[in-house]
Structure 1
């Protein structure tokens, strides 16, 4: 199957720090894809577009017509951790792994086919948040013994390095986010398996269950960290309302209460994650995204 890697993937990989870019993987992606298809004896139907920012997803089928999805990600994205999380969830609240026999060879994942064009973002926001919370409840379980996942403290310490060198224009917000992170990680807390990148667009319609999550960037830690990304979902819509900062705080309280998460910890992680994403967007030249994220963090 001849194809060009989706431009969204190419742009996203290009925004990574030079030492983190896997240009060799991207350059060989057509050949890697053909080899992965051949190993699993599946036939490509089409590339899922616009696709993700860290992987290529092909809609495929077995010889008997059974649909599936083949996902390829660069080694730096740690697809081994994604496989470990999906295997541990066993299809409960998440997409199911159909075949992992060749994963160590090429890092690809053969997954059940969901409906990529129908995510929770297709629902009104209130209904989408309700379904999202129900999905998160299923994912928050004890991690497997000897798991390969990093912790919230480890991931945010690494992310904090970029905040310490943030430009002067966002220095005050970056310092506030670092202080919040230090307070939140001062004492050991919950150690649950988290999705790591959970938002409405990561929950797709399925056949065996109405909604199933995809694309985890798994780690271990407290629920408030996982819920924080959901708080800023549909950010442009939130920013366009007249509710302003009061509306953002109400959203934090509503989500915290619905999942019995501490309000202050959810607010703190929401601030940290928004500032970290905003500084990263600024470094990548996405000033519009950065301004939205940083203004939202300032509201909280």
Structure 2
């Protein structure tokens, strides 16, 4: 069976990864077919609303068990996804059944892909999300393969400084300077190192059968909990921005999340600003001005 990549995947990989992405997309149908055969899998259908740089195929194993074949581009953020899932062993995260890390291929337990925490009202979703995230924060183990927050954000610093000088970022320069200062202070005073999800938001927590909610799609790092929680602070940002008193609402959300998981609110505020500004300037660099403006405005609220 020849399965073609969905339009969404083709669009994002082409836009984000350029020529390397186009070459990967050209090989993708053959790669998927090879793993279906090699691992004794029967394809049911491609999940069109799947990953932004990965193809998701709903499959059954040779004994009829429903599963998911995930074939993704390997980059700095995704290279250790399999290692994080193995470390968690299905505890509050999707269970890894089989992997070929060098090729970015994983066989995963099947969850309810159409039911994420976004299906819940925000207060309930935030409560469930905080519980899942806390259970993921485990010691990474001696000799772990994961990049640290200090290393990862250190690589972002020169990119952020270079983009700061571009014409598109002229109005954002004061925010960039504040974000860089936040990052320097935070990495210089960090005192904990746990395994982090790295990309934790409501859309990356799906309903399961073993447990009510399970995390998917980690971009694992090792560092302090406030870094991981920062992504959750800005979840459902468009909805947050549309409501009256959005600035005060954002600050209340930050305070509630910090209190719920016993994280220093000032450290959470700093990482929330840094991550929002970095993402906002990246969005400017790829011409996504709507997202950029929203992210940078959010950073000013904090």
TM-score normalised by L of structure 1: 0.95
2:142 pairs, out of 142, 145, 153, with 145
| 2:9 is the counterpart of 1:9 | yes
Partner of 2:143: helix, strand, or coil? coil
Q: Is the 8 A contact 2:5 2:55 kept in 1?
A: yes
Partner of 1:268: helix, strand, or coil? helix
**For the residues of structure 1 that align with 2:204 and 2:9, how far apart are their CA atoms?**
16
**For the residues of structure 2 that align with 1:157 and 1:72, how far apart are their CA atoms?**
29
Equivalent in the alignment of 1:49: 48
Partner of 1:266: helix, strand, or coil? helix
The CA deviation string for residues 28-75 of structure 1, in whole angstroms up to 9 with x for no partner, is: 000011111111110111111221112111110023321000111112
Q: Is the 8 A contact 2:96 2:109 kept in 1?
A: yes
Moved over 4 A (4+): 77-80
Where in structure 2 are the equivalents of 1:202-213 lying within 5 Å? 202-213=204-215
Compared with structure 1, are the counterparts of its residues 79 and 275 closer, same or farther at alpha carbon in structure 2 (3 Å cutoff)? Answer: closer
CA displacement at 1:6 relative to structure 2: 2.2
1:270 pairs, out of 269, 272, 275, with 272
**For the residues of structure 1 that align with 2:254 and 2:280, how far apart are their CA atoms?**
19
Which segment is superposed worse, 89-98 or 47-56?
47-56
| 2:132 is the counterpart of 1:130 | no
**For the residues of structure 2 that align with 1:250 and 1:60, how far apart are their CA atoms?**
43
TM-score normalised by L of structure 2: 0.94
Partner of 1:163: helix, strand, or coil? helix
Equivalent in the alignment of 1:298: 300
Q: Is the 8 A contact 1:54 1:77 kept in 2?
A: no
**For the residues of structure 1 that align with 2:141 and 2:227, how far apart are their CA atoms?**
19
Equivalent in the alignment of 2:221: 219
CA displacement at 1:205 relative to structure 2: 0.4
Equivalent in the alignment of 2:158: 161
Which segment is superposed worse, 74-83 or 195-204?
74-83
**For the residues of structure 1 that align with 2:209 and 2:17, how far apart are their CA atoms?**
39
Compared with structure 1, are the counterparts of its residues 295 and 230 closer, same or farther at alpha carbon in structure 2 (3 Å cutoff)? Answer: same
Q: Is the 8 A contact 1:135 1:213 kept in 2?
A: yes
CA displacement at 1:79 relative to structure 2: 4.5
CA displacement at 1:107 relative to structure 2: 2.8
Where in structure 2 are the equivalents of 1:5-154 lying within 5 Å? 5-16=5-16, 18=18, 21-76=20-75, 79-100=78-99, 103-104=100-101, 106-154=103-151
Q: Is the 8 A contact 2:74 2:103 kept in 1?
A: no
Compared with structure 1, are the counterparts of its residues 283 and 32 closer, same or farther at alpha carbon in structure 2 (3 Å cutoff)? Answer: same
Which segment is superposed worse, 166-175 or 225-234?
166-175
Instruction: Calculate the aligned-residue CA RMSD, in Å.
Output: 1.5
Compared with structure 1, are the counterparts of its residues 272 and 78 closer, same or farther at alpha carbon in structure 2 (3 Å cutoff)? Answer: closer
CA displacement at 1:77 relative to structure 2: 5.2
**For the residues of structure 1 that align with 2:300 and 2:70, how far apart are their CA atoms?**
37
Equivalent in the alignment of 1:193: 195
CA displacement at 1:158 relative to structure 2: 1.3
Where in structure 2 are the equivalents of 1:207-286 lying within 5 Å? 207-286=209-288
* Equivalent residue pairs, number: 297
